[in-house]
Structure 1
Amino acid sequence: MSAPLVADALVEQAMKNTGLDRFDSNSWREGLDVLLADYNKSEHPEPLLARMSGNLVQMLSDRLSTTDYLAKRPELLERPIERPLFVFGMPRTGTTLLSNLLACDPARRSALTWEIEEPVPPPTTATLKTDPRAIAKLAQEKAMLEARPEMGKYYRNSAVYPNECMFFMMHDFKGLAYESRGKLPAYRDWLLSTDMTSTYQYHKRFLQLLQADAPGNWNLKMPSHALWLETLLKTYPDAKLVWAHRDPFTATSSFCSILSMAHRGYTGQIDYEWLGEDCPYQAQLHLDRIMDTREKLGHDRIVDIHYADITRDPMAAIRKLYADLGDTLSAEAEAAMLAWLADNPQGKFGKHEYALEQYGLSVEKLAPRFERYLSQYDVAREG
């Protein structure tokens, strides 16, 4: 039987690795405890247990490093985050494509993959894409894609592309990325009902660190912001909100496929039955919570964009989005977006294949879950 992961041992290792021993708060502890209690119920092959352990230690180490840096430069916590833009929706609705295009706009500041992974010390504006840490990760990325080019078809990412807020919100141990690492129903249910205030407060602190010497108007993306919009707005009351829409049946199928890879990577096997239950539940919850929030805040508080539009005519969709946001799309930004699209054509690394039937699902079986959504929104069907 594999040895259980122990929270105190993980914390001790993070402190040893960093030489630091002070967290800004203990808000992360409950999530870590709930996660480990659920995770330790199952057997895990030793290499995958070590992978999970290493990842958790890294999250703790990043929190320690973030706390230490901000303690040395406390004035950073006085700097505002003004009118940040958040892209969200149910998973697999084109939020990555949209975020990558928005990041081409020099008027926007995105949290890039490499700086999320190595936030201390934060970059300067001049070194956002030339920092040695970025260059090293680009080299690793190139080697990975040369060895396994098929990986590029699942998730369009790069060291110098924007990445999800999830990967630093995880420092508070509240995030669906943890839930994807196996069958973890207790952690999922706790997460979907817990107060996320501390996580969004930490989110702001992390951005204040990143913008220390590289400021700008933030462009941010994470599908599951959809679940906590009211909490998000308590931290960022002037946030701009963008909802990405897509055929929910296709998106759910893709969601199942992506999570199946996470299962394989952290447990060594895929629980198709669980994914067929879990992914539709989460997909519906994302949609329902957005619609509930919109009913409270007013329709115009959230701007819509459709996957079908952005894949058919990306720049027309972007121009409309900017108009709806009241923003100006500069000629420089448009040229940069067109260049990115030319360098990243759909299917560049192959087509991501997936099917509902693999998970015991069908359009007919899922239809009741998406009846409310499809009755309110004219979403192009893909199947």
Structure 2
Amino acid sequence: MVDSAQKGATHPNVIDITDLHHPVLDEIQKQVLAGAEAAAAHIVFEPQVILAAAMAQTGLSDFGAQDFQERLAVWCQSIDEDENASAVTRANLFQMMIRYAATRLRVEDIVKRHPEILEIPIERPIIVAGLPRSGTTHLLGLLAADRRFRSLPWWEAIAPVAAPDETPTPQDSNPRWTKAEQGWRTMESILPYMAIMHEFSPDHISEDIELQAVDFSSYLIEWLALVPRWRDYYLSHDQSGTYAYLRKCMQILTFLNGPNRWVIKCPQHMEQLPALYKTFPDATFVLTHRDPVGSIRSQLTMYTYAARMLRKTVDIAEPLGYWPDRYQRLLRACVRDRDVLPADQTIDVYFDEWTQAPDRILREIYRIAGVELTDEALAELHRYLAEHGEQSKGKIVYDLERDFLVTAEELRRPFGFYFDRFDVEVEVT
């Protein structure tokens, strides 16, 4: 049971999390924290420890190009420097890094056995990019509902190449799906409102960031710990190599599951437009735009809600000191590099227009992509919209002034450069 202080709702579809600052933990949360303390006591964030664990798990030893080891070392150092990271965070990140290393071993192994994989074209993908918490996930899911497109469900994103114990059996036709389902149910039981803020069910369409992380890059771990060292390293290094690795993973998935027209997304692409275009020069680029305050407001609430498990102490100064600045960095890069993308391959989608007239925008996306939006396909997308609307699972209450002691105008003020470049409508007042 979730404590009433966590529920805080007077209507079944309205969820007001009233214990953000002083969490009231339920029994499951207490048990998880206690168990993690014991597990985390033996964790050592050192590259060789992580790589050795991955080799023991897979029986493989070839990680491919070795440049990732420097990035892995920065990941480890950055996580160790996060003094407020809880035992849950440390244990989760350690296991996650071993998973990425094991996946990398399997990636290199299958390419070695099937070198023809690297000749597979990734033709004219549709790539969605936009602010975190700005509707990119919903748009990706909507496009993926068109079965003519190839997308990346969560179960496949976290295990793109099956391990020997993940081959189908008469008892389980997809062990990777089953493992992802178990992980999802566990997360739901520990942080139930995360299921509304950011879904991770097995069939949920994932960001391609999971494939970038196999190269030990991307901004992924910024969402899981306070790692300014990694942020600065990542932003100061060319990401073309990691985007090439993403492409290689997509080639492998195409080889394993058949060719199709890919649709992928990641908010990080907004600050990596040159590398994105270099890697996928024939893509259709869909950039979503929203009042940054609407996105930051959501991020602050999500971060602080999860902090009851992921941080030793809950301190609103942490997300306020990091995320508004991080959004500025991302959007300044987008403004700087937007014109790198060819005009005839790119569409800017504005949040207010999308919520009012999605069909018109969908038709334009399909036109640019050169795909016919048939009546049958449009009906399928309408069914998806009806089943996955904003309030299908509940509506979170976001209150900046109550929960973070800051006004919308104070948060918006540094983003004038973004409003000057894009016709974004003020959403939060």
Fold-level similarity (TM above 0.5): yes
What SS class does the counterpart of residue 86 from structure 1 fall into? strand
Q: 1:143 to 1:267 in 2, by over 3 A?
A: closer
Alignment-derived partner of residue 197 in structure 1: 240
Instruction: Specify the code of the residue in structure 1 equivalent to 2:110.
Output: Y
What SS class does the counterpart of residue 211 from structure 1 fall into? helix
Q: Which moved more, 1:65-74 or 1:315-324?
A: 315-324
Alignment-derived partner of residue 334 in structure 1: 378
Alignment-derived partner of residue 222 in structure 1: 266
1:35 maps to 2:78: no
1:153 maps to 2:196: yes
Query: Aligned match of 1:75 in 116, 122, 133?
Result: 116
Alignment map for 1:1-383 (pairs within 5 Å) = 4-43=44-83, 44-121=85-162, 131-135=174-178, 137-138=180-181, 141=184, 145=188, 150-212=193-255, 213-261=257-305, 263-297=307-341, 299-357=343-401, 358-383=403-428
Q: 1:353 to 1:239 in 2, by over 3 A?
A: same
Cα distance, 1:368 vs. partner?
Answer: 3.3
Task: Determine the C-alpha separation between the residues in 2 that align with 1:71 and 1:262.
Answer: 40
Q: 1:264 to 1:209 in 2, by over 3 A?
A: farther
Instruction: Specify the code of the residue in structure 2 equivalent to 1:303.
Output: I
Q: 1:375 to 1:186 in 2, by over 3 A?
A: same
Cα distance, 1:319 vs. partner?
Answer: 2.3
Mapped contact 2:212–2:246 kept (Cα < 8 A): yes
Mapped contact 2:142–2:384 kept (Cα < 8 A): yes
Instruction: Specify the code of the residue in structure 2 equivalent to 1:216.
Output: N
Instruction: Specify the code of the residue in structure 2 equivalent to 1:192.
Output: L
Mapped contact 1:108–1:216 kept (Cα < 8 A): yes
Q: Which moved more, 1:41-50 or 1:69-78?
A: 41-50
- CA root-mean-square deviation: 2.7
Q: Which moved more, 1:305-314 or 1:102-111?
A: 305-314
Instruction: Specify the code of the residue in structure 1 equivalent to 2:76.
Output: L
1:144-174, Cα deviation, whole Å (9 max, x unpaired): 6588653332014431232001112111121
Mapped contact 2:124–2:369 kept (Cα < 8 A): no
1:249-307, Cα deviation, whole Å (9 max, x unpaired): 11111122233355554434344223212211221222222222123446555311122
Q: How many residues align?
A: 378
Mapped contact 2:284–2:368 kept (Cα < 8 A): no
Q: 1:271 to 1:171 in 2, by over 3 A?
A: farther
The share of aligned pairs that are identical, in percent, is: 30
Task: Determine the C-alpha separation between the residues in 2 that align with 1:142 and 1:36.
Answer: 28
User: TM-score if structure 1 supplies the norm length?
Assistant: 0.89
User: TM-score if structure 2 supplies the norm length?
Assistant: 0.80
Task: Determine the C-alpha separation between the residues in 1 that align with 2:209 and 2:387.
Answer: 26
Task: Determine the C-alpha separation between the residues in 2 that align with 1:296 and 1:198.
Answer: 18
Q: Bigger radius of gyration, 1 or 2?
A: 2
Task: Determine the C-alpha separation between the residues in 2 that align with 1:203 and 1:92.
Answer: 22
Q: 1:140 to 1:259 in 2, by over 3 A?
A: closer
Q: Which moved more, 1:154-163 or 1:200-209?
A: 154-163
Mapped contact 1:48–1:268 kept (Cα < 8 A): no
Structure 1, unmatched stretches of 5+, are 124-129
